Structure 1
Amino acid sequence: MTPSTERFGVSITGLGLVTAAGIGVRASWDRVRSGRPTATRDPELDGLPVDFSCRVPDFDAGELLGRSTAWRLDRFTQLAVVAAREALADAGLDPETWDGTRVGVIVGNSLGGTTTWERQHRTLLEESPSQVSPLTVPMGMSNMLAGHLAIDCRALGPSMVTATACASGSNAIGLARDLLRAGICDVVLAGGSESALTPGTITGLQRMGGLSGRREDPLTASRPFDAGRDGFVAGEGAGILVLERTTDARARGAARYAEVIGFGASTDAHHATTPDPTGAGMERALRAALADAGIAPQDVDHVNAHGTSTPIGDVTEARLLRRVLGDRPLVTSTKGVTGHPLAAAGAVEAAFTALALRDGVVPPTANLETVDPEIDLALVTGQQAAAPLEVAVSTSLGFGGHNAALVLAAA
């Protein structure tokens, strides 16, 4: 069954990506399709029990943004501005000519400017209060992600940050779609960004038992759905999608990657960091997204799963996916390559899902050598799988019990 998308009519007309797999959509997508992981030792984490991450390679904010802009922004905002500029250029939209009052910005972030907070705290303790930067607060605030994106592209409509942990990016896209459906905006920049690869954050995640401890071989540490997984690898990145009503995109002759036809969200109300082991919360979100899209579970061809590489999380998600969707969809987790970019994950993976629909290929799950015997899904391993793809799902789960699901259809 091919779903009817006219009822919703929201198209993805531009993509921007900055990930551990590369700077730019082409570099990121090529690496993800190749299944080559990116985790490596991180000099910023030297001496810690977990001293590796999935950091964006060769990111020079001064070169990419100009030094006068870069020095005012924390890294999590720098990544997003670079991604947003790529997305707007890709969509063929010029902020100099549009009506900014009809443009919104909805983006996800969870931890804010941890690089700024930790650096300036050290300055306060080791030097003096007079040496603390007067830009500390505006650089560190989470909402400045939306604020600076709006400034950069003169978006004068609603702007806000969703802070639902690792579901933030997906929720941002769902809320952006609602702004378009309600007629409040004509264009929305939606997505997420996170850069929290700092000693304090990584130590906190390690102490709570969330991270992989494979220091001897970081490259194989992120292994979603694998029997030998022992935790996720922290990453960073930004994903920005340009969303427009399909009628508007067609009227201006814009290329379209895919359409966002369904969105669902829910809360476990179970535990601060551990998902409900029954998967009931995520199941509600997924079923709501399918109902919103007006499609049946058997219509789904592909799932880009949250699949973080944690022992409990992967099994919980796999069981609910099997229960709702059966064994037909081709399933992958691109976190085997990118690591877990936290609040950016849902947006980055929605972009990968749109690219999968465009190209008719499902990337492999990197480092998946022996599937956990408790997991029964049509997992793509080894190399990418070519297939006719009409409908795909992207799932996101976050600390606090936040769940979100997006349904995309081929344009």
Structure 2
Amino acid sequence: KFEALNAALFARCLEPVEAVLRDAKVSQSAVDEVVLVGGSTRIPQIHKMLREFFGISEAGGAVGAPRLCRSINPDEAVAQGAAVQAAILEGEGTGALSGTVLLDVAALSLGLETAGGVMTTLVPRQTTLPASQTQVFSTAADNQTQVRIQVYEGERAMTADNRLLGDFTLDGLPPMPRGQPRIEVTFQVQANGTLEVRAVEKSTGREREVRIDDKRGHADGRLTEAEVERLVQEADKHREEDGRRRARAEARNALENDVYAAKQALDVGGGSGGGGGIHGVVQSLAGLDMEKQPHAKPGILRGVTVPPPPSKPPGAGKRGGNSGTSALPLIVLDAPNIAMRHGRKEKFSCRGIEIAAHFFSVAGHRVLGFVPDYLLDFDAVANKKRMAR
């Protein structure tokens, strides 16, 4: 009767066991011993469920199979562990406690927002504390003199779905082309859960930091285990959708980097001349440089970005042909954007994208163009002939 009444509660007991194995990326067969801690582990049904879960027979199983450890007093273990952890956190880890280490882990991932609203994680979930991670970022626009560092907690791919813990602005950056400044961001999590985030611009040494206590903005302290588990389950539920959203944002960031590199190549190669049509296309591409953020305050450029991988200097590619081995970036031309930039909403023509494709091809780039069918329908025959060329 007791087991029937508490069947739902017993089922929940296996959830943390499964979560621990999943987070540690350890299979059931890789476990040598299961230590039972806490008074409720004396319940026979708990023993039965654990034996079934780990494949342990009543006799203890074959050689090398997991076994249940019942030699430790489950009540004393809880009390001693809590006392030792309290002493260590209060700095009393001396005498008998010298050399004793109790490890806590990050309940949720910690990171910051980069271009496109992407959650860039520095301290992944289940990282052993204390922990310190450093990563180098850069600016998302030319002559950017300040960046806003926004610190988030959560498991979702986009920061809009995670929780903002705090933010600060690093100003006084030297005006440079986008991607050149080196901004070193360090996340340091103490054993008690306190988070310190520091950003340093390497060429000037200017730095700012923010300190976030372990309450993470909660009046009652940290998130409860139930709240953490709910957030993790939501992330699992939306994993595919979040992956698509992140891929779109990263693709746009990559396109912006390629557009920027192409414009640099045009400047080096003197490609800004050659007629109003080409100049208009270049101006159209310039409009794609950085996603506008209407909620940003005037004069504050909020975005930081992960620097693109190093490449050859602009213009280093072989000119005069659309070679598949070109050192210059792939150029992706989006026909609707170019058309609208030229004000050709009423009747679309492929002329703009044709000029752009030819120009970048001659400059040594590989070119890929996209023209939706609904635009080709305006002048299907002429436009398809142009795109075929």
* TM-score, normalisation: structure 1: 0.22
The structure with the larger Rg is: 2
Greater relative contact order: 1 or 2 (C-alpha under 8 angstroms, separation 6 or more)?
Answer: 1
